[in-house]
Chain A
Amino acid sequence: MYCLIQQKTLKEKVVINLEELEKRDIAVKMRDITKRFGSIVANDKCWLNIYRGEVLALLGENGSGKTTLMNMLSGIYFPDEGQIFVDGKEVSIRSPKDAMALGIGMIHQHFKLVDVLTATENIILGLDEPGKLDLKAASEKIREICDLYGFEVNPDQKIYDMSVSQKQTVEIVKVLYRGADILILDEPTAVLTPQEADRLFVVLRNMRDAGKAVVIITHKLHEVMDVSDRVAVLRKGAFVGDMITKQTTIPEMTNMMVGRPVTLNIPRKKMDNVSPRLEVRNLTVKDSEGIEKLHDVSFTANAGEILGIAGISGCGQKELLEAIAGLQKVESGTIDYLDDDGFADHLVGKTPLEIADLGVTLSFVPEDRLGMGLVGSMDLTNNMMLRSFRKGKSIFTDRKTPRELATTVVDELEVVTPGITTPVRKLSGGNVQKVLVGREIAEAPTVLLTAYAVRGLDINSSYMIYDLLNKQKESGVAVVYVGEDLDVLVELCDRILILCSGYVNGIVDGTAITKEEIGLMMTHLNQKGESDEQ
């Protein structure tokens, strides 16, 4: 009775090795869990079993209730209905503290660390241990944990000195330090390079072998295949089924998530009329603290082409796109927009408004969707208006056109929303992105800049975005795609520019490179770069 396959068509294919599971201890049983937020049902009589000694991948589309379900296990929400059993005993988890007492710890997508404190200080922060504060003993214990599972972290290092992956390690150690043996990781690899992700997987496997239960929520199916032992799929807030990872395939998982067969390939059409559109020469950019973020960056983005930009997060991607969009001060270098007749407009030193006044329709899907691209508290219509509100001479705003645009975007991109008067903040990540991309494409751009366009999006929405980008490319737009999923970059992009700490570490043909090669280029500056840096 472990595996309730509700989808009959898939039933024959999904075979769970019951014997193998029988041997394992059941750590958590969730039964008929229902959670509503107002009229929205996030979880609907949801089931889940978590065993000790396994890595469970929790799969599902955006808004399928994965995170909500795990938040109820870690004490952030309290279920409206249903029961949770830990080690066979029914429990009531009212706060993260309750969860911790039961050995349940969750590592969230956004880290909750104090920058100016060391790893040790962060880890023991909030622990109410009797007696004197003994940082040394704490460091010692942290070292033991690290050695046991193969973490690489210096307990005395300050958080602000750490890379994203080190910060994540601290978060994991924090949870282990508190004695967690059921660990939940919400999209742990979203911010990691492939190499860092591999290292994380080693640690996760070590924890599994030590008898802990590990749950990861992720959208990257390759990783699911790599690291998990079992896959559980949620759809529309309910448990759809689970399978042993070894016995399943990526298409099967996808079909189960989406509920219908999906094709998973990104077409890459070679365009004939490729011509230079955007020329960046010797671009150097410093941030507000005077630290160089981009060094002597030169490249050309062509119309009818998708130019991928790969790099570890924070290697200057944001600054590059913002410099082109007129939002970032440029130290030196030029950015030229070439129109169809080869006439060049200089963009450096111009505000977004001045760029638009040149007749350059430059659309920009920024990384920070709700902090920059959209206004979270405003509804769809008002967000559509962001681009168009200036049009016309009247002092009053025209709401009719944006309202129509909102309706069009909702219809064409299948945005799931109660209506166009809903604040975009209330939509799920994928739908927020569709609203943003929809608006930017509606401007009929000649250059489309996108930063992490599919971050946090499920398979279905991601492929819809790839499709939209391809359509833009085919209609002659110069698309710049800053991405983090290397599998996608090599499938989608015609050329890929690799950024490494602000340097261009090479521009390669997307059809003739592997993701391992890119991964290496992301982390190791080539000869020229190194000599420049010193």
Chain B
Amino acid sequence: MSNDNLSTTKVREPLVRIAKRTQSSVLRSWTIRLVALFLALVTNALFIYFVTGLDPISVYVTMWEGTFKSQFNFFTTLRDTAMLLCIGIALAPAFKMKFWNIGGEGQVLMGALATALCMIYLCNYLPNWALILVMFVASVVAGAFWGFIPAYFKAKYNTNETLFTLMMNYIAINLVDSLTNIWRGAKSSMGTINQATQAGWLPKLFGYRFSINIMIVAALAILIYIYLKYTKHGYEIAVIGESENTARYVGINVRKTIIRTMILSGAICGIAGFITVAGKNMTLSINTAGGYGFTAIIVAWLAKFNTGFMALISFLLIFLEKGATQIASAYSSLNDYASAIVTGVILFFILGSEFFINYRLIFRKGSSKGGESK
């Protein structure tokens, strides 16, 4: 038996195998991302050229101009990025704890509602700086309260926080809807609050009112980064998120931490409501949060709760949003739907590239690097 012929017919190896990469160098990761972006642009170019007959390059230029045409465009992009990022960093601690806070939208609205309430009812009693301070505190309290309710029930009765926070959104939306209906009276909309006195409006800085928004969010981003990474609270959140059993085992008070973290999460959402009303819209409607409460979930997840990445992803999403609006208005043949496809393709490729960063493909003949040859 020892004269077995070992080299018999060639067996078939699977065509492609997937293996997890053990380490990804920064350089390779970014190369893959850039290649993905390039491929996305090529795919979009084909779509634009064959479906609409437009020149892809000029469409891209228009898209770029959505953010970079003027200083104003750029700063509005930053403003909206800040808003989205603010909700993202609010959700991050809850998500890291595996508490699925889908209620960002509602928490933002409650913060906005509290802000507007103060602006409307307290504007005649307080000096402007005190009014703004009270508005800020009120928004924090309102958001925190909206975060506290589902957390309390989760901690006490183990209710499903996903459904609970989701439902809380609708309560918030309807609250805002009914109150704005009362305030506007016979008018078609609320209009700008305190138009004449500008009471409770954030002061202009560097020519823009929302400069303060951006600064507040930047400060929050740094604080939350430190909070999650270096504090005992942050460590407790991480342990609970990974294993509640381990948390109990080492004596972490799981209920207390859930409630505390959701109060924090809601409070920051409240701040997002505050800056939107006081620094951007000067009015209140059910669209004040603008769906960012949901988009922020994507932001927090994609960045794996790293605030730096969250800022990048927020910017990318807003950039695409602005670009889509820009091309939809500039070209009659590129309507909202077509521009949504263009931005969708770009997002798809960029998100898809993460797969090639984390895994490599091994083809049948030898083991070639699969990442770049997407």
Contact = CB atoms under 8 A, between A and B. Distances in A.
Interface of A: 1-2, 22, 26, 29, 31, 37-39, 78, 80, 83, 85, 88-92, 94, 325, 327, 351-353, 356, 364, 366, 368, 370-378, 382, 385-387, 389-390, 395-397
Contact of A396 (B2, B231, B248, B367): B231
A1 B6 CA distance: 14
A85 B4 CA distance: 10
Contacts of A29: 4
Contact of A390 (B4, B14, B232, B246): B232
Given A90-B8, A90-B9, A376-B243, 5 more contacts: A88-B4, A353-B251, A374-B246, A376-B242, A395-B233
A378 B250 contact: no
A390 B230 CA distance: 13
Interface stretch (B16-24, B26-34, B127-135, B343-351): B16-24
Nearest to B20: A38
B242 A378 contact: yes
A391 B76 CA distance: 46
B249 A395 contact: no
B230 A396 contact: yes
B162 interface: no
A186 B45 CA distance: 54
Given A38-B23, A94-B14, A397-B232, A372 B8 contact: no
B13 A352 contact: no
Nearest to B2: A1
A471 B80 CA distance: 62
11 contacts: A2-B2, A26-B1, A85-B6, A364-B249, A373-B249, A375-B239, A386-B239, A386-B250, A389-B235, A396-B231, A397-B235
B219 interface: no
A372 B251 contact: no
Contacts of A395: 231-233
B230 A397 contact: yes
A136 to B, nearest CB: 39
Given A88-B4, A396-B230, A353 B253 contact: yes
A376 B1 CA distance: 47
Nearest to A38: B22
A377 B245 contact: no
A370 B234 CA distance: 20
Contacts of A37: 22
B1 A372 contact: no
A347 B231 CA distance: 30
Interface of B: 1-2, 4, 6, 8-9, 11-14, 17, 20-23, 230-235, 238-239, 242-243, 245-246, 248-251, 253, 367
A355 to B, nearest CB: 8
B14 A352 contact: no
Given A38-B20, A92-B13, A371 B245 contact: yes
Nearest to B248: A327
Contacts of A371: 243, 245-246
Contact of B243 (A22, A39, A92, A375): A375
Contacts of A2: 2
Contact of A385 (B235, B242, B243, B249): B235
Given A372-B246, A389-B232, A396-B230, A356 B251 contact: yes
The residue among B13, B20, B239 with the most chain A CB atoms within 10 A of its own CB is B239
Contacts of A364: 249
Contacts of B12: 92
Contact of A327 (B13, B232, B233, B249): B249
Given A31-B6, A375-B239, A387 B250 contact: yes
B245 A378 contact: no
Contacts of B233: 395
Given A378-B238, A395-B233, A397-B231, A78 B243 contact: no
Contact of B249 (A92, A352, A377, A396): A352
Contacts of B9: 90
Nearest to A387: B250
A386 B246 CA distance: 9
B231 A375 contact: no
Closest 8 CB pairs of A and B: A38-B22, A353-B251, A352-B251, A92-B11, A1-B2, A372-B245, A375-B242, A386-B250
A372 B20 CA distance: 26
Nearest to A21: B1
A80 B242 CA distance: 33
Contacts of A1: 2
B243 to A, nearest CB: 6
Nearest to A93: B11
A325 B22 CA distance: 38
Given A37-B22, A371-B243, A90 B248 contact: no
A184 B191 CA distance: 75
A389 B240 CA distance: 14
B69 to A, nearest CB: 44
B118 to A, nearest CB: 31
Given A39-B22, A83-B6, A353-B253, A396 B11 contact: no
B345 to A, nearest CB: 33
B12 to A, nearest CB: 5
B22 to A, nearest CB: 3
A494 B235 CA distance: 40
A377 B242 contact: yes
A114 B173 CA distance: 43
The residue among B238, B243, B367 with the most chain A CB atoms within 10 A of its own CB is B243
Nearest to B14: A94
Contacts of B4: 29, 85, 88
Contacts of A22: 1
Contacts of A375: 238-239, 242-243, 246
Contacts of B17: 78
Contact of A366 (B13, B231, B249, B251): B249
A70 B25 CA distance: 32
B290 to A, nearest CB: 34
A356 B253 CA distance: 14
A261 B85 CA distance: 61
Contacts of B23: 38
B98 to A, nearest CB: 12
Contact of B13 (A78, A351, A387): A78
A452 to B, nearest CB: 16
B304 to A, nearest CB: 11
A433 to B, nearest CB: 15
A22 B1 CA distance: 8
A122 B153 CA distance: 39
B242 A372 contact: no
The residue among B6, B14, B21, B249 with the most chain A CB atoms within 10 A of its own CB is B249
A56 to B, nearest CB: 17
B232 A396 contact: yes
Contacts of A39: 22
